Amino acid sequence: MEHLKDPNAVISECYRLLKEDGLIVILVQNIRSFEFKLGKENWFHLDLPFHLFQFTEEGMVRVLQKKGFKIRKVKRFHLEYSPFGWLQTLLNLSKIQFNLFYDLLKSGSLKKNKKGKINLKGVLATLLLLPIYFPLALLFSALEPIIFKRGGIIQIYASKETI
């Protein structure tokens, strides 16, 4: 949804195509999360300029209901995205190199900086911080939905009602 030029049109089209009693599952980042409040421009899920839209749980629920969907369930934790989002945000806040760990995992190799060099100090700092930040990321991603009723990721299950 965050990568689309017109998410509203896509939601309308999903409603049109979905069978009666069909289910749609939407997973998006949540700009009202504590993770965002802490990370701000360092928030992993902000992902500018690739994320054209930022969402809130309330806004996404409202759009889905306006399009005719009935909200079945909202989850504020996703095993793949929530802990990693916190982890990379914490690393980004350390000002090592933005999304260095993510880039390493995604590409399987180290990217060179503008000067054509690999940031070995950044890699070393990341490796040293992982044993500290990983447990914190697990803890924060598990507790944020419980304490704040929010999460960096929202997963909404909505159905097309039978008339």
pTM of the predicted structure, to 2 decimals:
0.89
Confidence of residue 163 (pLDDT cuts 50, 70, 90): low
Residue 162 has pLDDT above 70, yes or no: no
pLDDT at res. 88: 98
Q: What pLDDT, in 10s, does the model give residues 63-101?
A: 999 999 999 999 999 999 999 999 999 999 999 889 999
Burial 79-105 (b: 16+ CB within 10 A, else e): eebbbbbbbbbbbbeeebbebbbbebe
